[in-house]
Amino acid sequence: MKRILLAWSLLLMLLPEARAQAGAVVYSLPRTTVCLTVEARREAFSAGPYAAFAQKYLGVAARTQNETRYTLQSITLNAFVEADPAVRYTISIPERASASFLQLCTQGLIVMADNYTGKPAAWRFASQAGSERFEGIDPLGNLGNETTTLYKAVRSDEGYERVPVTQDNVVEKSPDRKAADAAATIFSLREKRQQIATGDTDATFSGEALQAAIDELTRLEERYLTLFYGICEESVEVKHFEVTPSAGAKDQRYTALRVGTEGLQPASASEGKPVTLEFVPEPLATPEASSDRSKDVLVHYRIPVITRCRVSYEGRTLLESRIPVYQLGEDSTLPLNAILTR
């Protein structure tokens, strides 16, 4: 009996219709709902305008397509108890004992020694580096000089001769020309940084000035590299998803949410990779035979079953925790006089 008392948890719901019957209390049995707090990192990538020329001028290929993707960053699992609307009972309690019966409640939940406090279990990726900002599409300028050779006819004693004439024109640079200029600037910055670091320069740098010069050259190099390798802006998205296991389901595996190009989506979404939640119940022992209680007023209660709750994504188990699930357990009864002080 002591074991049953420690496992007993009831959720009382005082409803208007209960007032019609003196001393009657309407209550529901508890059920467990699991809440997943999911944090995802959003990566919005914009390809550089010279990405197609990265292999040609820098020797390393670059991504050429814009892309937005989400990566799971952390998952926190919390279980909480609520009223099961499908299982409700009415019990008549003696007037002098109703107060002591209701005193067991805290916000409607009868608090016993086995009450699950919702201790969170968490899974988290390692921290990711911060994103860089794209500071300009073409900091080298959009115009360049182009020399054109023209010919004009000059009359001489022997007739007309073609004489070359050069003409300088200001024209818009082609993408290839812009990429070549940017690559040349990158190599020039690297060379200057090496010269300063090794002291192979006419200028003299020391202490903080040396470090400041190297940092500025590095900043400029990274700025020009974004023209080839693009920029990636990051942000964090946090959403909550709830799963309530169904007692009648044979397979206790549920899709909690989906992760796709639109971010964290509910399980009903048509696209995205699923994050699944699986409950594996542990065996529940058969109770010992009890004495005849046909004359007793019985209170219905529910004994939870301990389950191994697994969160999986892309074939990997991200998180596993042991939690009690009431609706997958066993419904039983208890004599009313065992918990009332008359």
Sheet arrangement for strand 298-313: 263-266, 253-260, 273-281, 298-313, 316-335
**Residue written as token pair 């740098």:** 205
**Residue written as token pair 């939690």:** 323
Query: Which two tokens mark 145?
Result: 């000089």
Between strands 231-243 and 105-106, the pairing is unpaired
Closest CA to 14 of 28, 30, 25: 25
Closest CA to 239 of 195, 208, 197, 269: 269
Q: Where are the domains of the chain?
A: 2-132+233-338, 143-229
Q: Measured on CA atoms in the order 62, 67, 70, 73, is the torsion positive or negative?
A: positive
pLDDT tens across the length of the chain (342 residues): 334 333 334 333 333 333 334 456 777 788 899 999 999 998 888 888 888 999 988 888 888 888 888 889 999 999 888 888 888 877 776 665 555 555 444 333 343 334 455 566 666 554 443 334 444 545 566 655 666 666 666 666 666 666 676 666 665 677 788 888 888 888 888 888 888 887 777 777 777 888 888 888 888 888 888 888 888 888 899 999 999 999 888 899 999 999 988 889 999 998 899 999 999 998 877 766 555 555 667 777 888 889 999 999 999 999 999 999 989 988 888 777 766 554
Q: What is the DSSP letter of 9?
A: B
Backbone angles phi, psi at 81, to 5 degrees: -105, 135
- Residue 131 and residue 71 in contact, taking contact as beta carbons nearer than 8 Å: no
Rounded Cα–Cα distance for residues 123 and 264 (Å): 17
This model's pTM is above 0.85: no
